[in-house]
Chains A and B, each alone.
Chain A
Amino acid sequence: GENVEQHPSTLSVQEGDSAVIKCTYSDSASNYFPWYKQELGKGPQLIIDIRSNVGEKKDQRIAVTLNKTAKHFSLHITETQPEDSAVYFCAASIVARGNEKLTFGTGTRLTIIP
């Protein structure tokens, strides 16, 4: 089955600096890669996702890049703010009829230092 590795497990950055979280996946058939943000005491929320037919996607201060050849994808947060502090999870899946299961990475705890 799919295996997703996520690094680093913890990350601290100064407010205003950029943060990068990296994930690798094992199954070359995976074609959907979402990123979730989990705040303390809450459930994960989707913040951005990318499909295998594109290499990069941006949404304001957040961007995700995908390298299918190397089987890795990354989350980039620019101009970080205190409200970006949270645990971030990457995930991968093979989107097909009747199979929408996500395999998650182990999470990155991001702390923004004011």
Chain B
Amino acid sequence: NAGVTQTPKFRVLKTGQSMTLLCAQDMNHEYMYWYRQDPGMGLRLIHYSVGEGTTAKGEVPDGYNVSRLKKQNFLLGLESAAPSQTSVYFCASSRPRTRRETQYFGPGTRLLVL
């Protein structure tokens, strides 16, 4: 049981390039989330999903897209990276049926956009 895993761990992009961050969970959780963490700003919700095939916007969705084609995977895409998207990205998942409030986090992806 690996919990929540994220790929890649670190990436450097040039402005305008695109990439996809992958989050996978093996806990059969219904809900999944993408956050970004910036110094002095805590964690801010980008997008989230309450089930396979569904996604919704969070607090800071601009410049990002997401997809939840499979229950265990949640993908975060950057179509045209900007320096303002330099951040550490965390994925989380939760199970709404028991202790549904508890979110379990992955180890993070550090992204640098030059």
Contacts and interface: CB of A to CB of B under 8 A. Distances in A.
B101 A49 contact: yes
A42 to B, nearest CB: 6
Assign chain B's interface to a size class. 20 to 34
Contacts of A36: 105
5 contacts: A9-B40, A95-B100, A102-B45, A104-B42, A106-B40
B78 interface: no
B111 interface: no
B91 to A, nearest CB: 8
B101 A104 contact: no
B60 interface: no
Interface in B62-114: 90, 92, 94, 96, 100-108
B105 A89 contact: no
Contact of A45 (B58, B96, B105): B105
A90 to B, nearest CB: 9
A104 B38 CA distance: 12
Given A43-B92, A43-B107, A100-B96, 15 more contacts: A4-B42, A32-B101, A36-B105, A42-B107, A43-B105, A45-B105, A46-B103, A46-B104, A49-B101, A89-B42, A95-B101, A100-B101, A104-B42, A105-B42, A107-B42
Interface string A30-59: 001010100001111110010000000000
Interface in B1-29: 4
Contacts of A98: 50
B108 A43 contact: yes
Contacts of A104: 42-44
Contact of B105 (A41, A44, A93): A44
Contact of A106 (B42, B45, B59, B106): B42
Given A93-B101, A100-B94, A106 B41 contact: yes
Interface string A72-114: 0000000000000000010001010110111011110000000
Interface in B29-59: 31, 33, 40-45, 48, 50, 58-59
